[in-house]
Structure 1
Amino acid sequence: MKLSGNFHGHYGIQHNKQQSVVERQSRLKMLSARVLGFLLASGVLAAIAEGNTRSFKEDTVQPLKKPATCFRCIKTLSSFDKQGHRGCRGLLPENTIAAMLHALDLGVTTLELDTVITNDGHVIVSHEPFFNHEITTKPDGSFVRPAEERSLNIYRMNYTTTQQYDVGARGNPRFPRQTPQPATKPLLRDLISSVEEYVKVNNNRTLPLYNIETKSLASTDDLFHPPPAAFVEALVGVVSAGNILERLTIQSFDFRTLRYLHDKYPAIRTAALIEEGSRGNLTTYLDSLGFVPTTYSPHYSLVTRDLIDAVHALGMKILPWTVNSAVTINRLMDDGVDGIITDYPDLFQ
């Protein structure tokens, strides 16, 4: 079967077709008036409407050969949100417990990670809902080929089967500073318990925040993942049991999951992820979402000072991803962003 959707990238914005048309139009009119009122009054409507559609790839910013010192980061240490992308993907295998613990050692305030669902209902930590050919070794010791990776569908496997695939020993060819080590995709509950215990043992540390993404796409509901309600309920069950709700943000490119969270669990913070190269603007994205989330999280190439001002005026934080250059981190901090998601948390040191 030919599958749609860019699984190696981030999942796109989806519309909830089951939502009442009348209710949706009413909510969006109020939201649009609020956003447009600010933009007209501040004179930045034209700048935001133009957007920034420069073509960047997530990893085109070449990582530094040696860690650079980010002096401005040090100056705002207490207020700036330093997020380790998939733990510290540039340094250790992504979305593993080892990567999370090392990110804590490097002083991150927030652990950023991704979640998918197994056939037997377990929430595991993975960026794709299948085994990525770049990092995976099969049970027989051979490497996963690009043509077969989507057939290794985690939503069609039970948890025990997923643990037969190694996702760390090969390293990652796009991250030359990453230290390879054997690893499997962990259960979210095990990752949380490991992190919380690690902090307790090192009792001079502050408990971290968690920024957890739902990896879903409307076109692959029931194929690579459950529909939004089932996905969110499974995730909320794990994070509730882990006692991290007060330190949690749930982020997604799939706005259906964010709308479900907003309606069912309004106390949980939400972050709207915006894809690189997007041609929309703040108004259109908030109209699509239907409410104002806690955080607006665009690709860093889309961030301008006008956008930062507009986001802050609506009471949101702005958190760009994925920034792998100390120079760019400094520039974005000077512009006024509230945090940075990076594969290299050592750039904050």
Structure 2
Amino acid sequence: MCRIRSFFFATLLLLIACTTSSMSQNKPTQQSSVALPAFDKEGHRGARGLLPENTVPAMLKALDSGVTTLEMDAHISQDGQVLLSHDPFINPEHELLPSGAEIPAADAKKYVLYQMPYSQIRTFDVGSKYYSKFPEQQLMKAYKPLLSEVIDSAQAYIKEKGLAQVFYNIETKSKPSGDGIYHPAPEEFIDKLVAVIDEKGIRPYVIIQSFDPRTLKVLHQKHPDIKTALLVENLKGLEKNLEQLGFTPTIYSPYFKLVTPSLIKATHEQGMKLVPWTVNDLKEMQRLKQLGVDGIISDYPNLFSQL
């Protein structure tokens, strides 16, 4: 009887070990601190210029293009799921109803993500409509994925192709006027986002970015080890933007036309990296790199190979 019990106990331990190994095989190796790339090549919304934005195919295309970071936007559904989307609603400019029909002009902002369960959001087609702003974008039937699915897909692809581990630059799409309408309040937003990040074991490889200092403040207070990026499109200047934020982020990320040699110098003097958005012209990419920026966010990650 003792031998039988020992056999079953040993078998149980083996099964647990195998299950744990299977669950973690696509997670990057855990480290307390991982340095950012010397020059960070970020695919904006995956590869927005080439494939439907913020979708799994766009992220895999970016990986094929040799990016060091996958940039993406996060929203929260009615049932608390973290999903990828730039807009807080189904955007009729480049997205379609589940039936494949156009969204009527009167319903332009009707389908708010925070007011719908994810099971409903997933039924909308976000890749089959021609998008005039990005004529090279390949048309395909696509949906807004969960952040967890994107991470799983990217990590599996990295392993399959033998690629280097990339970073995940995740933007919290929030602003004060949208609390409770388009998204939860900052603390709840951050809690849900970090829960997915930790479930997938990618914390050392994550950057949380935002135009909304509130979410970055919450993140810095609760999880100071997670890298942060302050997105900037205003003319207030470096000092005022940092004063409003209340701490020094890992990255200062301005609109690319705001970049000057003096801004780069000041950013570096305060120990931050400077990564501008969104640069889609090769000559402009080359100019900015020569100026000394620490990376570039682009809709066309295929251009990085020419830098």
TM-score by length of structure 2 reads: 0.86
Structure 1 contact 93–172 (Cα < 8 Å) conserved: no
- Secondary structure of residue in 1 paired with 2:252: strand
Quote the residue 1:337 is aligned against: 293
- Secondary structure of residue in 2 paired with 1:150: coil
Quote the residue 1:238 is aligned against: 196
Structure 1 contact 323–341 (Cα < 8 Å) conserved: yes
Quote the residue 2:236 is aligned against: 280
1:63-109 CA distance string (max 9 Å, x none): xxxxxxxxxxxxxxx73110000000000000000000010001000
Structure 2 CA distance for aligned equivalents of residues 172 and 93 of structure 1: 9
Structure 2 CA distance for aligned equivalents of residues 258 and 98 of structure 1: 28
Offset of residue 146 of structure 1: 4.3
Structure 2 CA distance for aligned equivalents of residues 191 and 182 of structure 1: 16
Identity of aligned residues (%): 49
Out of 108, 115, 121, the position equivalent to 2:74 is: 115
Offset of residue 172 of structure 1: 1.6
Quote the residue 2:171 is aligned against: 213
Out of 197, 219, 222, the position equivalent to 1:261 is: 219
- Which aligned pairs between 1:62-77 and structure 2 lie closer than 5 A? none
Structure 1 contact 81–109 (Cα < 8 Å) conserved: yes
Q: Which stretches in structure 2 are left out of the alignment for 5+ residues?
A: 1-36
Structure 2 CA distance for aligned equivalents of residues 250 and 309 of structure 1: 23
Offset of residue 147 of structure 1: 3.8
Quote the residue 2:253 is aligned against: 297
Out of 90, 100, 112, the position equivalent to 2:59 is: 100
Structure 2 CA distance for aligned equivalents of residues 136 and 122 of structure 1: 20
Quote the residue 2:99 is aligned against: 140
- Secondary structure of residue in 2 paired with 1:151: coil
2:134 is the counterpart of 1:182: no
Q: Which structure has more RCO (C-alpha within 8 Å, separation ≥ 6)? A: 1
Q: Which amino acid aligns with 1:281?
A: G
TM-score by length of structure 1 reads: 0.76
Structure 2 CA distance for aligned equivalents of residues 202 and 113 of structure 1: 22
Quote the residue 2:13 is aligned against: none
Out of 130, 146, 157, the position equivalent to 2:89 is: 130
- Secondary structure of residue in 1 paired with 2:109: helix
- Secondary structure of residue in 1 paired with 2:119: helix
Structure 1 CA distance for aligned equivalents of residues 175 and 230 of structure 2: 14
Structure 1 CA distance for aligned equivalents of residues 156 and 269 of structure 2: 38
Out of 148, 153, 172, the position equivalent to 1:194 is: 153
Structure 2 CA distance for aligned equivalents of residues 170 and 83 of structure 1: 25
C-alpha change, 1:147 and 1:318, in structure 2 (3 Å) is: farther
Structure 1 segments of 4 or more deviating over 2 A? none
Out of 125, 138, 141, the position equivalent to 1:166 is: 125
Q: Which amino acid aligns with 1:344?
A: Y
CA RMSD of aligned residues (A): 0.9
1:224-274 CA distance string (max 9 Å, x none): 100000000000000111111000000000100000011110000000000
Quote the residue 2:113 is aligned against: 154
Q: Which stretches in structure 1 are left out of the alignment for 5+ residues?
A: 1-77
